[in-house]
A = this chain, B = another copy of it.
Amino acid sequence: VRAVLEATTAELARVGYSGLRMEDVAAKAGVNKTTIYRRWPTKPLLVGAAVRSHKGPVLDPPKRGSLRQDLLDLLSRANKRADTPEGQCVLRMLVQEADHPEVAALTHELRREHRAPWIDVVERAIAAGELPEGTDPEIVVELLVGIVTIRRLLHLHDPVPEGLLASAVELIVTGAQHGGAKRRGAASRRAVRSK
């Protein structure tokens, strides 16, 4: 099983979702094509299993320094992850999502999972009073994750300079600390929800 999933990841990183062929995966894993079909009858099932098998430091919570340190730590790890076959495979799939509706549910699930430690860091900062009450973690995380994702999509093989990551954290955390990330109409939404 592991050989097949690793071969699938490597092929996804090399040719992307649309270019993936079961026979190439079988050849690379050294198994028979029918062995793969028996367990994963369709391409979405095989790809889903491969991508869900990726685990690793990118999902661990940061070591709990200051808010800036924790966010920079998460950004650095995402940046390094993009150099692995798992990272390249996910980046390629993200871009192909628009053309392949069958991948959409999978990448949606992945994105939620990958964002969890980020959202957690921001929510802890709000609870600790490091960020003002009413701060929206989503916009903070979207902008920070975005800078690594876009850079790595545009320059797949060039790590983002650490200095740029630090500048992005500084700008966004400073903005959030001064109320720039507050939810608009949060009070009214709360009122509606409590009805």
Q: Which A residues form the contact surface with B (CB < 8 A)?
A: 94-95, 97-99, 107, 136, 139-140, 142-143, 146-147, 149-150, 153-157, 163-164, 166-168, 170-181, 184
- Contact status B98-A155, CB under 8 Å: yes
Q: For residue A168, which residues in chain B have a CB less than 8 angstroms away from its CB?
A: 139, 142-143
Question: Can you name the residue of chain B whose Cβ is closest to the Cβ of A97?
Answer: B154
The majority secondary structure among interface residues of chain A is helix
CA A171 – CA B170 in complex, angstroms?
12
Contact status of A178 and B167, CB under 8 A, knowing A97-B154, A98-B154, A98-B156: no
Closest to A182 in B: B170
Across the interface, which residues of B come within 8 angstroms of A181, CB to CB? 167, 170-171
Taking the closest CB of chain B, its distance from the CB of A15, in whole angstroms, is 10
Residues in B whose Cβ lies below 8 Å from that of A176: 171, 175
